[in-house]
A and B are shown apart, each in its own frame.
Chain A
Amino acid sequence: DSGVTQTPKHLITATGQRVTLRCSPRSGDLSVYWYQQSLDQGLQFLIQYYNGEERAKGNILERFSAQQFPDLHSELNLSSLELGDSALYFCASSPGQGAYEQYFGPGTRLTVT
């Protein structure tokens, strides 16, 4: 158990809908990262937050957004969903300052039908 929690574990929704994925980092970790894992794209970095502020952006679509709250949990919002958004979404956390490794949650499997 990495100490990173993600909810829900599975999500099935229809095209055009909007969903919210939630992540709670390890106790004390200030950085949260979101990654998408799909068969065709592999593991791709989406976005990073550090202590409530956006730190870096990767291949994140404009239909996707994220935020980190004062209690350091983070949410990833996916809207106008398309079939191609079906994937595993992972959250990872790290202490931030001077830390290199990231600890991953169990993931949320999103299926868009």
Chain B
Amino acid sequence: AQSVTQLGSHVSVSEGALVLLRCNYSSSVPPYLFWYVQYPNQGLQLLLKYTSAATLVKGINGFEAEFKKSETSFHLTKPSAHMRDAAEYFCAVSVAAGNKLTFGGGTRVLVKP
């Protein structure tokens, strides 16, 4: 069975500062990893995905994530936070194409002006 742990349920950053959201996974097979963002009162939007190609993955809105097998991690970063980045972010893992997603608990990001 697979699982995802997101360290920190809330993160506060200043506008223009680095955003770093941590995700660690557990999987008995090579994982496929995703980051989704949820804005208030909306559904989940795919930010980026790792599916065994390049370990550094670039996504939308300036976000990127790096897959580190040795650390079983898939942390999400953005060099400079913007007010519009305030949202909840979810890391998810799947073990095969077409399989269910297993989500972490989410990290709510607050951006201070």
Q: Which of A42, A44, A97 has the most CB of B within 10 A?
A: A42
Asked whether B90 lies within 8 Å of A105 as measured between CB atoms, the reply is no
Within 8 A of A (CB), among B84-113: 90, 94, 97-106
Asked whether B97 lies within 8 Å of A102 as measured between CB atoms, the reply is no
B residues near A104, Cβ cutoff 8 Å: 36, 43-45
Asked whether B43 lies within 8 Å of A102 as measured between CB atoms, the reply is no
Bound form: Cα–Cα A50–B100 in Å: 12
Contact of A31 among B42, B90, B98, B105 (CB under 8 A): B98
A58 at the interface (CB under 8 A from B): yes
Type the 1/0 row for A83-105, where 1 means its CB is closer than 8 Å to any CB of B.
00000001010101111111111
| Chief secondary structure at chain A's binding surface | strand
Contact of B100 among A56, A105, A106 (CB under 8 A): A56
Contact of B98 among A90, A99, A103, A105 (CB under 8 A): A99
Chain A residue total in the interface (Cβ 8 A): 29
Bound form: Cα–Cα A105–B42 in Å: 8
Contact of A102 among B42, B51, B101, B106 (CB under 8 A): B101
Q: What are 8 A-B pairs with beta-carbon distances under 8 A?
A: A35-B101, A42-B106, A43-B106, A90-B44, A100-B51, A100-B98, A105-B43, A107-B43
On A, residues with C-beta under 8 Å from B are 2, 4, 31, 33, 35, 42-45, 48, 50, 55-56, 58, 90, 92, 94, 96-107
